[in-house]
Structure 1
């Protein structure tokens, strides 16, 4: 029965995080959306480096995840390379591609490596480029990103819970207004989303979402002035389209 359910979910795209429409910009709406997004969130461990990622697709072969390129920078020399899903389940991962220009990378987990009872609780984020057309026309829109607790030697000691309780993965959130959705950031050399909010270590590679749950970018940097920058979805798509 679980295997059949998983196949049916793949066939009808039931893994995708549901999107709301015209949610009020309140903390209650933000919490509800964050809870919907959380099952797409993973923590990535590459040697001593760690960061965040989001599942973007689940099929019969692979669970595909996007993250920041700098999260996987030590890949070739690292012994440990794994992801922790929001329920604490741990799985080995493979590096599929990195972008030579943008701070973006793609990794995968073999679907067969995840027990079916865990698989059916995961979600993938929808990447809708049309969202950016609207997003570029506004300012001060509230966005959020999820934060995780980091556990050293997670493969051995990470807490597991079927429903994700007390695992620490994607259990916290940060949020703030977008100051500019499309501004040149000299440190990176390309246009990015610039947000007035604080980011913390280990959040790099995590999705930036609007209040409805639309994925608009990927967090890659923050400052002591409580500012955050994110790679825009339109630029992330350039790497993804090259893999099709």
Structure 2
């Protein structure tokens, strides 16, 4: 098993640090949000990644600064010297991937690489900080997932790419994936992605299934009862309460 997945009980993952926790509103993917989740007892954080024009990797979801900061522009077209001036919700600086890894050494990170130019810089940071065993890297892009696997090798836990998920869902006999886990929504539009058959096939292959983004207690209970291995949530407060209620707020 990958060290990243070595955990007792269901994995509780703070999506963007817990973006909809009442204390985090407006502060997604900020150190404020990450620290707040860790303070609740979370050992797993999810964050998105972009690289600046000069190859600096930042924890940030959008390709533009506009929505959540006091600055504007496309991150991939701006140097770090400009991006570092932006403030999330007008107050919090955009954290570097390296800062999150170094500031929270006890935490494991799920990293979603949002653009092609972020793959190699991310691999460089993970090598330099000897952080490969602490992370799972995923992306909507199959090509990005395959590239990061080639760069960092078999020790790296990765999510399934879109093509791999589709094969396991619709043509499992064609699947040959080194991925460690499926990180999927229950539904994508009207399409039901998570089915009992998919969950059964994933577990038969020794793969984890993590479901995003689950923010209401009824769905949390239902998915945990179904046997998923982890939940990714914006409502870190509610998922913590659900797991405590179930006697599954177990720490590694």
TM-score, normalised to structure 2's length?
0.29
Q: Normalization by structure 1: what TM-score?
A: 0.29
1 or 2, which has the higher helix percentage?
Answer: 2
